[in-house]
Amino acid sequence: MNYNILSKIGNARLAFALAFTVWLPGAVRAAEADKGANDMLEMQHITTQAQAEALKPGDSMSMTCTKCKDVMVQKVTTGNAHVKMMTVGEKTTCAVCGGTVEVVATGNGEGKNAEVKHVCSKCGDDAMFCSATKSGAGAAKDMGKMKM
């Protein structure tokens, strides 16, 4: 009879340990997800070359296609390579669909303040958009300082 009681206690401990082992990783992931929610970046939609030129080294720009789900992210450096993403007439090839993406003026604004759109030969003219975020910006207050 002594053996049965110890066996039952052993089984209870085993069951508790198993339940704890299954529960703990989920609790840790949930805590990390809550923490990560505060670390989310807020992207600001940009539509002009002037907005791209206003970005500082360390900021980032992205061009996203809603059709083929391609997202190209470019870190802003002291050069102006990122500005080409917003310069009328510039072309690039989409890595996902293989289409030619051309920067086209919409007719709103002039010069560097002219609004542009990105037209993909395969996905169409309303499929792509550009966004930017400030370096280290995890909160909307940092994005508010960005003149766009």
pLDDT in tens, the chain (148 residues): 555 554 555 566 656 555 555 555 555 555 555 555 555 667 889 999 999 999 999 899 988 999 988 888 889 988 888 888 899 999 989 889 999 999 999 989 898 999 999 999 999 888 889 999 887 655 444 444 444 3
Identify which of 121, 118, 119 has the alpha carbon closest to the alpha carbon of residue 98: 121
* Amino acid letter for position 114: A
Contacts with 97 (C-beta within 8 Å, 6 or more apart), sequence order = 65, 67, 68, 70, 120, 122, 123
At residue 138, the 3 state secondary structure works out as coil
Q: Which two tokens stand for residue 40?
A: 């989310």
Separation of alpha carbons 40 and 11, rounded Å = 44
- With beta carbons less than 8 A apart as the criterion, state whether 52 and 85 touch: yes
pLDDT attached to residue 32: 56
Other CB atoms within 10 A of residue 134 CB: 21
> How many CB atoms sit inside 10 A of residue 65's CB?
23
Find out whether 61 and 74 touch, Cβ atoms under 8 Å: yes
- Show me where the domains of the chain are located: 1-39, 44-144
Per DSSP, helices labelled H in the chain are: 2-37, 49-53, 140-144
